[in-house]
Structure 1
Amino acid sequence: MKRVLITGAAGFLGSHLCDRFLREGYHVIGMDNLITGNLDNIEHLFSEKNFEFYNHDVTKFVHVSGELDYILHFASPASPIDYLKIPIQTLKVGAMGTHNLLGLAKAKNARILVASTSEVYGDPQVHPQTEDYWGHVNPVGPRGVYDEAKRYLEAITMAYHTYHGLETRIVRIFNTYGPRMRLNDGRVLPAFVGQALRGEDLTVFGDGSQTRSFCYVDDLVEGIYRLLMSDYAKPVNVGNPSEISIADFAEEIIKLTGTTNKVIYKDLPKDDPMQRQPDITKAREILGWEPKVDRSEGLKRTYDYFKSLPEEKLYKKEHNTFEEYIKR
């Protein structure tokens, strides 16, 4: 049985990856320091004989006994609320955490896939964004801690590939949504849905003309899996090229949720990108991948998930430590 280590396993994407690799017949080792992850996301896996979990911070030395075939490095804060609140930890997991896991991959002779982001493009001056675009990033702006952490992650990964001959894969993830997102993490979709469920006005920053492209989580996981199993070492965009303005997206959420509340507008945060749309030509040609889930269907599934949550989760932050989890 092949063994895979997934960091950030208790997070939104990490937990779905744990599900996928268990279905594929792997022994899955999940690792998370729970700084933003939530054990509720993987509680259903604790009874699985081929799943084990370690509460560990990957910025510290990482040891895993036995052989490893694959490593997927998804440990990192990913929402503006998180990385603005914990900027140093965000930089450390992108730098020190990635370095530790590349070292582990080298020691175990394992293939490693690292999770980068469309944020490496910054506020892009090229549209849609292709993998050969170098980006337009402010390294000392408030978003720089996340943007530059991921740019460093890519650089050190490629250095290990070229210098040590390590098998590496780099996925650039665009906006993704689906069940297990945190309602209060500040990202646009859960923010809108949370406001609708609480009977609040939906908050749009700026004039709403900025665009995003939303990919359903099942599609993203499929793209990641195909990239890991491919022979391609350079970065690959994985996302849905169906672009929509934030103002129009707010109207879609209003229609979906049936809220009678209105949209209010506030000042645009500093360095917030005005356009986000992936060029997925490489993913189509190299991986034979493109998204399958229509946004209307994906939003319905996600909304049904949010509606199923206990009411207190609409107002309170989820527990994200072992102590809080045990005291439930």
Structure 2
Amino acid sequence: MTPPRALVTGAGGFVGQALCQGFSRRGWEVVALDRHFVDLPQDPRITRFEVDLCSAEWTRLPEELDLIIHAAWVTTDPMSLGMSRGDYITQNVLALAAVLGFATRNPPDSFVFLSSSGVFSASDAIEGLTDQHRPTGSSPYAEGKLKSEGLVASWASEGLSKTYVVRLGHLFGVGEVVRPTRQVVSLVAQWVAEARKGSSLEVRADDPLRDWTYTADLAPALERLTADPVEQSPVHLSNPETLRDSEVASLIASEYSSVEVEVSTKPPGMSVKPPMVPSDLSIFNDFQWTDFATGLSSVIEEEETL
């Protein structure tokens, strides 16, 4: 029996690597695309192509695909890259358009665009951001993602593939490092790095509540989503577990000796968005999300052996 095949863009990044390895573990063949690979482990099920999506030699790629996941995105603030807001948005949208062009010529069974809770502003909800809330984020990142969500929705109307806009929330996992296109890592990665040095972990005075999803859960979750015949967009895909920053810091500190958690006395600064609320989809009723504490222990154990 021929194994299913997925194409993943941004495969050299934090999320892309997790997807490639996750689908490989589940018996898929993976076509991995990125401009440059550094840490993606060798795997006989994963075939790498180093390409610029906007000028890719698409004829080199396999044409028969069950799934395309567009995970490529420049998350770094454009000013840090010496780019204008317009150039930043255009670069990201053009990369998506190129992938959609390939998908038009070679329609997969399913197409997934990875968006983010970053499309929302802190004032869009009080208790939790649902898939019914209207996003009003105004950052270059938010504007680019929202434009891309619209482009994917337009492409979906052609009916070539089952199509999903999937918004992810806060993520943590193995292999989260700074790279030019992603210069800011998650709070979990920042605190783990501080804890390894024996430094105390400083928690914001307002101690915000956040959703946290272990990246190893993404591939099985997307596999289940795209196997369902019912399309829905956008889909909020996240672990329903939420934690206060102080809880996260305490769990990290408990993994290391002599690391303390301190509550900042400074004003908290910019407001943190409410946690993202997962979409109410029956296909996930029995899905086993990895709880934060278990995922954290796995990350620390695996990264200490690298």
| TM-score interval (norm. to shorter) | 0.7 to 0.9
What SS is found at the alignment partner of 2:166?
Answer: strand
Partner deviation per Cα, 1:283-317 (whole Å, 9 max, x = no partner) = xx1444544322211111112133334xxxxxxxx
> 2 CA distance for matches of 1:159 and 1:62?
25
Instruction: Name the structure 2 match of 1:127.
Output: 127
- CA separation of 1:263/1:68 partners in 2, compared to 1, >3 Å: closer, same or farther? farther
Instruction: Name the structure 1 match of 2:35.
Output: 33
> 1 CA distance for matches of 2:185 and 2:24?
30
Deviation at 1:257, TM superposition (A): 2.2
Instruction: Name the structure 1 match of 2:297.
Output: 300
CA contact (8 A) 1:171 1:238 kept: yes
CA contact (8 A) 2:172 2:186 kept: no
Alignment of 1:67-216 (within 5 A): 67-69=63-65, 70-78=67-75, 85-86=80-81, 91-110=89-108, 111-123=110-122, 124-137=124-137, 139=138, 144-163=139-158, 165-182=160-177, 185-204=184-203, 206-216=204-214
> 1 CA distance for matches of 2:272 and 2:155?
30
What SS is found at the alignment partner of 1:240?
Answer: coil
TM-score (norm 2): 0.84
Divergent runs of 4+, >6 A? none
Instruction: Name the structure 2 match of 1:323.
Output: none
TM-score (norm 1): 0.78
> 2 CA distance for matches of 1:269 and 1:291?
35
Farther off after superposition, 4-13 or 248-257:
248-257
> 1 CA distance for matches of 2:97 and 2:127?
32
Deviation at 1:83, TM superposition (A): 6.2
Instruction: Name the structure 2 match of 1:244.
Output: 243
Partner deviation per Cα, 1:1-60 (whole Å, 9 max, x = no partner) = 4432110111222112212333344332111124xxx521x2322xx1x43211222243
Between Structure 1 and Structure 2, which shows a larger proportion of helix residues?
1
> 1 CA distance for matches of 2:226 and 2:68?
9
Query: Which of 217, 223, 240 does residue 225 from structure 1 map onto?
Result: 223
Q: Any gaps of 5 or more consecutive residues in structure 1?
A: 310-328
CA contact (8 A) 2:126 2:274 kept: no
Instruction: Name the structure 2 match of 1:63.
Output: 58
What SS is found at the alignment partner of 2:49?
Answer: strand
Instruction: Name the structure 2 match of 1:4.
Output: 6
Identity of aligned residues (%): 21
- CA separation of 1:237/1:95 partners in 2, compared to 1, >3 Å: closer, same or farther? same
Number of matched pairs? 291
Deviation at 1:249, TM superposition (A): 2.0
What SS is found at the alignment partner of 1:44?
Answer: coil
- CA separation of 1:8/1:188 partners in 2, compared to 1, >3 Å: closer, same or farther? same
> 1 CA distance for matches of 2:88 and 2:263?
31
Partner deviation per Cα, 1:159-218 (whole Å, 9 max, x = no partner) = 0011465431121111121211227843100000101111223243x4242221111222
